[in-house]
Amino acid sequence: MKISELFFSIQGEGKRTGVPSFFIRTNHCNLRCKFPGGNLCDTPYTSWNPEDKTNLGDVDINLILQKFTEGNVKDVVITGGEPAVQKEELKILCRELKKLNAHITIETNGTMISDFIKYIDLVSISPKLSSSVPFGTEFERSHSKNRINLDSFREYNEHSKRKDFDIQWKFVVCSETDIDEIKDLQLQVGFSNSEVWLMPEGITADEINEKSGMTVQMCLTHGYNFSGRLHINIWGNRRGV
C-alpha cells in the first residue's frame, strides 16, 4: 500500500477520543480541501503534495501487520489522505487485521465504498461541505463535483444497521452557516443526531479554541455531539502523533 505514516498515538477526534491506537496513514486523496481562512487539509502531504519519494512509499501489508503487533494497543485507525482510494489493498489489510483481533476504524470522506466495509468496526465519515472548496485553484471544479456522493453515503448508512458495525458523521465547522448544509445532508441520507459530531476547523490549538464555543452552541441547539482535536491540543500540528 502507498503509506505516508505508521505510528502509535491516541485517537484525538470523535467518539473514541483518548483511546490508544495504531495509526495507518495512507497516501493520496481524491479531494483537495481548502478552507476560508486559508488552511489546506490538515495532511496536505497526503493530498495536495503526496510524498511518494520522501515518506514510506509502498509498504508491504505484512510489514504493517508486524508493526501493529509491536504495540500494546487493540485499536487501529486507517486514515489518510483517503484510504478508499486503494480499495483492494484496503480490503486485504482490514481482513488481515481482523485476524489479529484489531478494532478497526476507517476515517474517510465517504465518497467511495467497497468490500473493506465487511471487516471494519467503525467508519468515521467526514463529508466535505462547500466551505472546503479550493476556490481559485486547479482543483476547484473536481473537488466541487466529487465531494458529495449520496449513493455512497446512503450505502454506508445502511451498514450502520448491522449489530457489529458503528458509524459517526464528523463535520468540520467553519461558521454557523454550515448547519443548513449539514441538516440538508442529514435529511437526504437519514443518519441520526446521535451519530453526528461537529468539530471546529483549525490546525492549531488557538484556531480550534476560537471556534469551539460556536461549535458547542451548535451542538446544544441541534442535538449533535462535539469533537475537539485532542492531539492538536497536546502536541500541536505535528506529524506522527
CA–CA dist 109, 29 (Å, integer): 9
pLDDT of residue 204: 95
Q: Confidence band (pLDDT; 50, 70, 90) for 53? A: low
Of the pLDDT bands very low, low, confident and very high (cuts 50, 70, 90), residue 20 is very high
Q: Cell digits for 137? A: 485553484
Q: Which range (51-60, 84-93, 194-203, 224-233) has the least confidence?
A: 51-60
The pLDDT of residue 51 is above 90: no
Q: How confident is the model at residue 54 (pLDDT cuts 50, 70, 90)?
A: low
Q: Mean pLDDT for the chain?
A: 95
Is pLDDT of 190 > 70? yes
Handedness of CA 218, 220, 224, 227 (dihedral sign): positive
More confident of the two residues 58 and 77 = 77
- C-alpha–C-alpha distance, residues 124 and 115, integer Å: 16
* pLDDT for the residue numbered 149: 98
Average pLDDT score over residue span 106-113? 98
Q: How confident is the model at residue 146 (pLDDT cuts 50, 70, 90)?
A: very high
Homologous superfamily assigned to 2-235: Aldolase class I (3.20.20.70)
- DSSP state letters, 37-65: TS-B-S-GGGTTS--TTTS-EE--HHHHH
- The answer to which of 19-23, 57-61, 224-228 has the lowest mean pLDDT is 57-61
Domains of the chain by residue range:
2-235
What's residue 163's pLDDT? Answer: 85
CA distance 22 to 51: 21
Contact 16, 166 (CB under 8 A): no
